[in-house]
Structure 1
Amino acid sequence: MSDTKPILELRNITKIYPGVTALDDVSIEIEEGEIHAIVGENGAGKSTLIKTCTGAVIPSGGKIVINGESFTEMNPKLSVEKGIAAIYQEFNLVGQLSVAENIFLGRAIRKGILIDRGAMVKESKKIFEQFHMDINPNKLVSDLTIGYQQIVEIAKAMSQKAKVLIMDEPSAPLTRKEAEAMYQIVRQLKAAGVTIIYISHRMDEIFKLSDRITVLRDGKKIETLMAKETNLDQIVKRMVGRELKENYPKRSVKPRDRVIFQVDGLTGNGVKDISFQLKEGEVLGIGGLIGAGRTELAELLFGAKTPESGKICLKEKEIFPKTPRQAIDYGIAYVPEDRKGKGALLDINIRGNISISIVNRLSKFFVVNEKEENRIAESYQESIRIKTPNLEEKMKHLSGGNQQKVIIAKWLATNPEVIILDEPTRGIDVGAKLEIYKLINALVESGKTILMISSEMEELLGMSDRILVLSEGKIAGTLSKDEFCQEKIMTYASIVSRKE
C-alpha cells in the first residue's frame, strides 16, 4: 500500500494532562482506502489519539494533516466538514427517535421551515441499500438490538459523507453473530473507498480485517506493521514490552478439601435446579452461551434477585441473602460484568470507590475516618498494583484494567469468603489480563474461593479448577481439570432441551 497517499497524518502528537503524558510525540500515516488498526494495552493512548482527530481532545503539541491541509487542533464541527467521523463505545443515539431521525440528528432535512421526514427516510434507505444493511428507517432506536444500533451509527457517519471512519472497540457489545455481520459491513465500507481506523482488544478481528497495525505503548508509537507480515506473538510483545511466556500463570497450591460454599436445587430468575459445591481455594469456572443463565445465577447468589426455591450454605451454615447488603455481610462479593454501569462510580475518586463497600465500618456518628480510609486504599493500591498518579484520580480517567482492580479492591475490603467474578477481563488488554489472573491466583492461594463466569473459552480452561457449563438455565455438564476440552464445553453449552 506504499503507493497510496495518506488521507490523514498525525505528526508528533503530544497530549499532557497534570502528572500524566497520555501521548508522547506520536506520528502515524493513515493511507487512503485502508483499514488501519491501532492496538495497545489499556492506557496506551489509543482513545486519546483518535479523539484528537475528532476534536474531542485538544493536543498539547503536534499537527493533524487531512488531505494535505494542516491543523494544530480540531473541533467536532471541523472534523465532520473534513470527512472524519467516529463511532465510540458509548453510542450517541436517542432511543425515542426513529432510525432516520437519529441518522440526521442535528441536520434534519427540511422542506421550507418544516422537517421533511419522508426525505430523511428515503435518504436513510439509500445508505442502507448501498451497504446492504437490512433495517427499517421508521423503527424506534430503543426497539433495536445493540447490533442494529451500531448499524445506525455507521449509517449516520455515512450520511455525513465520511471519508475516514474511526471505530473504537466496535465489537465489544456485540454477540458473535452480530460481530460477524459488522465485519462484513466494514469490508463493504472499505470496498466503497472509506478509510477505517479500527481499535480493538480482539486480536482475531484485528488480523481478520486490517491492512496495517500500529502499536502504542505508554503513550508512544512503537511500530506500524503490515498485518499479513506479522503475527499475534509479535504484536503482543510490542504491546507489553515483553514476551508473555504464560498467558495463564500456574498456581502454587491446589484447592483444599474443605467445602466452603454449597448450592442445592436453586431455582428462580431464569435458572432451574442448580446444585454445586465450592472448595476452599478453588476457582470454579461457569461457562455457557449468552442467555444460558450465568449472570442470573450470580444475581441469586448475591441477593440481587430472590430465588423461588433451593438452599445456599456457607461454611455448612444455611444463609438467606435477600439483598446484596445481606450477601456482603455473609461474606459474598460480586464483581459484575457491567463494570461502568454497576461496578464503578466513574465520577468519584479511587479512594471513594474502594471504601464505599465498608463506609459503615469506617464511619462514626456519620463521619468517615479519612485516615483509615486512606490507609486501606493505599494498601490495595500497593498490593494489587493499581496504576495511578494518586488516589484522588477519578475512576473515569483510569484504564479498564485498573478500573477492574479498583472494583476488586472494593470487594476485598469487605473480607469475603466467596468472590463472584462476572467476565473479569472483558474489555481489557492482554497485559492487564495477566495481572488480573495473577491477582485471582493470589486470592485463592490465600484461601479465598472464586466463582468465575467467562465467555472466553481459553480463560475458562486456563484459570479454572473445575468448569460448570450452563444451558437454558440448567447445568448441562461439569468438567474436572483432567476432562478440560474446548469441544466438550461447546457441546454442553449448545444443548437445547426439546420443546413440544
Structure 2
Amino acid sequence: MENIFNNQIKNQPLLILKNIKKNFGNVNALKGVYLRAFNGKVMGILGENGAGKSTLMNVLSGVIQKSSGELIWNNKTLNNFKNVKEAERIGISIIHQEIACFNDMNVLDNIYAGHEISCLGFINYSKQRKKVKEIFKLLRLEIDLGSMMNSLTIAEQQMVEIAKAILRKSKLIIFDEPTSSLSKSEAEVLFEVIQKLKKEDIAICYISHKLEEIPIICDFITIIRDGNFIGEYTVNELNEDEIISKMVGREINEKYPLKDHIDNKEIILEVEELSNSFVKNINFKLYKNEILGFSGLVGAQRTELFKSLIGFYPITTGKVLLNNKQVYLKSVGSSIKKGIYYVTEDRKNDGLLLNESIRKNISLSSLDKISRFGFIDFSKEKKLARNYIKKMSIKTLSPETFVGTMSGGNQQKVLLAKAFAAEPKIMIFDEPTRGVDVGSRREIYDLIYEAKRNGIGVIVISSDLPEVIGLCNRVMVMKSGKITNIINGDSLSPDEIMKYSI
C-alpha cells in the first residue's frame, strides 16, 4: 500500500492520513481512507453524499475520533484528537457548510470566543481589534467589528470564520462546501481569499459538489466512494466525466433528463398582480406538463415571492388561481391542504426535524393519510417511510435513523420524500440540489420529471444557471422583486438570463 499515493506529486506533505477507518456501531463510515495535504496547495476532496468526506474531515478536525489508522502531521505520528480545541492547537481549523457562530454576539467577540486576549482577568479589546483589523486588511474585508453575526450575510459570516482561522495561526484550513450558499460574485471573492491563503503557505482541504470549481481552485484531488479511497490525482489528470465516473462508480451520460416538447396549454396555476413588501405586480402562468424556472441574482426575492404565495408572508394585493379557481392561502398549512407544496431551500432550519427519525420526517406532511380518529397508524407510517426510502434511494440502515446524522444529500432526499408523500398538485422546489453530489442530482432531476409526467405542476427556483437551462421549459427572470422577462426554451442561455438579471 506504500504506492497508494500519486507519484506525480513531489511536494512534501504537511499531513498524511493512512488507512483511516471509522465505525458507528455496525456502520462502517470509513473503510480505509488515505489523504494528504500540502503547504500552499489546495487538495479537493470529492465524493457522493454519504461517501465519508465530512466524516473524514470531522476526524481530522477533532469533532470525532477515528477507529483506526495513522495520522501523520509534520512528520510526526499523532494519536486521536480528543476535541476540536486540540486540533486547533496544532493548527487545524474547519469552516463548516452551516456556519457555527454565536448569532447574538458581535463579530469581534465571535472571533475571540474562548481565545480572548486578557491581562489580570480583563479582556484587552483594543489589542483584539488591532489584530483583527490586520487580518481584515489582508482579506480586504470591510465588516464592522461591532456588527452582530446574525446581521451578516452567509458570505460575510464565512469570511469572519476564515479570519478566525488565520488569527489562530492555522496551518491547515478545511472548507466544507463553502460556496453552496454563495452567489457567483461572492464565490469569486472566496476564491481570491483562498489564493491569498495559499501565498501564506497555508494548506487547504476543499470539499465541493460543484465540479466546475475544481480546476479553478484545486491543485490536487482525492476521490472517496462509499467510505473507500479511490485515488489521488493532479487536477488536470482527469476530465469531469472521469471524475464523475470514479465518484459514483458508474457513468452518467446525461446530467439532465431529456426535455419534453410542451404542446399542452392547460393552465394549472395562475398568479395575477401579486404584490407585498417583497415583490411588485407579479404575473405568471404555470402550464400542465411543463417545468417553470425562476432565476435571478441574490436579492431578486424569488424565495420571498413563493413564501408569499403559500401564505408565509401576507399578500397586499393580487390573486392566486388553482385550476381556474381562486384560492386563499393564509398559511403554509392551508396551501398544503389546497395542494400547493413549497420545498424549502433551508432544509436544516425550515424543512426537517433533525433530531427525529426518517420515518417521522417523511410522514409529517401526510399525517391525515395515515391516521384514524386522530391516532397515527404506525404500520402505515412505517410502510410509507419504507416506500419512499426505496423510491428516493435514501442511504440508511433503518427508517429509525435520525435525520441529523445523515449526509446533506440524503437529508435532501428525505425533504423531497416528505413533499412527495403529501401528494400535492403543485410542487415548488427552491434550490433542490444545493449541497448535493452529481449522482444524487440526476436522481433528484428524474424525480422532478416523474412528478411532472404524473400531472403535478412543477416550479424550480435555482441559482444554478446550467440547472435552470437543463431542466426548465420556460424561465422567469427576476430582479429586485419584479419579473423582468420570460424566456422560452429555444432562447434559454446563460447570457440571455444574465442580461435580465443584472
Fold conserved (TM > 0.5)?
yes
Select between 448-457 and 224-233 the one with higher mean Cα deviation.
224-233
Aligned position for 1:451: 459
**TM-score, normalised with respect to structure 1:** 0.94
Aligned position for 1:13: 20
2:44 aligned counterpart, secondary structure: strand
Matching residue's letter, 1:60:
S
Q: What is the Cα deviation at residue 253 of structure 1? A: 7.5
Q: What is the number of residues matched between the two proteins?
A: 494
Separation of aligned partners in 2, 1:305 and 1:82:
48
> Tell me, which stretches of 5 or more residues in structure 1 are unaligned?
495-500
1:477 aligned counterpart, secondary structure: strand
Give the one of 466, 469, 472 matched to 1:461.
Answer: 469
2:94 aligned counterpart, secondary structure: strand
1:405 aligned counterpart, secondary structure: helix
1:88 matched to 2:88: no
**TM-score, normalised with respect to structure 2:** 0.94
What are the Cα deviations for residues 283-320 of structure 1, in whole angstroms up to 9, with x where unaligned? 11111222212112211221212211111111221111
Give the one of 207, 210, 214 matched to 1:206.
Answer: 214
Q: Evaluate the alpha carbon distance shift between residue 257 and residue 45 of structure 1 in structure 2; reply closer, same or farther with a 3 A threshold.
A: same
Separation of aligned partners in 2, 1:303 and 1:133:
38
Give the one of 401, 407, 420 matched to 1:412.
Answer: 420
Q: Is the 8 A contact 1:36 1:211 kept in 2?
A: yes
2:236 aligned counterpart, secondary structure: helix
Matching residue's letter, 1:120:
Q
Q: Is the 8 A contact 2:50 2:395 kept in 1?
A: no
Separation of aligned partners in 1, 2:294 and 2:277:
17
Aligned position for 1:314: 322
Q: Is the 8 A contact 1:61 1:72 kept in 2?
A: no
Separation of aligned partners in 2, 1:135 and 1:260:
46
Aligned position for 2:41: 34
Separation of aligned partners in 1, 2:169 and 2:500:
47
Aligned position for 1:258: 266
Q: Is the 8 A contact 1:22 1:219 kept in 2?
A: yes
1:64 matched to 2:82: no
> Tell me, which stretches of 5 or more residues in structure 2 are unaligned?
1-7
Separation of aligned partners in 1, 2:263 and 2:50:
35
1:290 aligned counterpart, secondary structure: coil
Percent sequence identity over aligned pairs: 38
Q: Evaluate the alpha carbon distance shift between residue 79 and residue 255 of structure 1 in structure 2; reply closer, same or farther with a 3 A threshold.
A: farther
Aligned position for 1:486: 494
Give the one of 428, 434, 443 matched to 1:435.
Answer: 443
Separation of aligned partners in 1, 2:411 and 2:105:
33
Matching residue's letter, 2:67:
S
Matching residue's letter, 2:441:
K
1:33 aligned counterpart, secondary structure: coil
Give the one of 333, 340, 343 matched to 2:341.
Answer: 333
Q: What is the Cα deviation at residue 276 of structure 1? A: 1.9
Q: Is the 8 A contact 1:131 1:189 kept in 2?
A: no
Aligned position for 1:348: 356
Aligned position for 1:470: 478
What are the Cα deviations for residues 448-484 of structure 1, in whole angstroms up to 9, with x where unaligned? 1101111111111111122121222222111222222
1:272 matched to 2:288: no
Q: What is the Cα deviation at residue 88 of structure 1? A: 1.2
Aligned position for 1:118: 126
Q: What is the Cα deviation at residue 81 of structure 1? A: 2.1
Q: Is the 8 A contact 1:101 1:120 kept in 2?
A: no
Matching residue's letter, 1:191:
K
Aligned position for 1:497: none
Separation of aligned partners in 1, 2:286 and 2:143:
46
Q: Is the 8 A contact 1:269 1:300 kept in 2?
A: no
Q: Evaluate the alpha carbon distance shift between residue 141 and residue 321 of structure 1 in structure 2; reply closer, same or farther with a 3 A threshold.
A: closer
Q: Is the 8 A contact 2:183 2:297 kept in 1?
A: no
What are the Cα deviations for residues 95-152 of structure 1, in whole angstroms up to 9, with x where unaligned? 3433332222112111222111111112222333344444444444344332222222
Q: What is the Cα deviation at residue 355 of structure 1? A: 0.8
Q: Is the 8 A contact 1:253 1:445 kept in 2?
A: no
The CA RMSD over aligned residues, in Å, is: 1.9
Separation of aligned partners in 2, 1:267 and 1:187:
44
Q: What is the Cα deviation at residue 56 of structure 1? A: 0.7
1:170 aligned counterpart, secondary structure: coil
Matching residue's letter, 1:325:
G
Q: What is the Cα deviation at residue 64 of structure 1? A: 0.8
1:90 aligned counterpart, secondary structure: coil
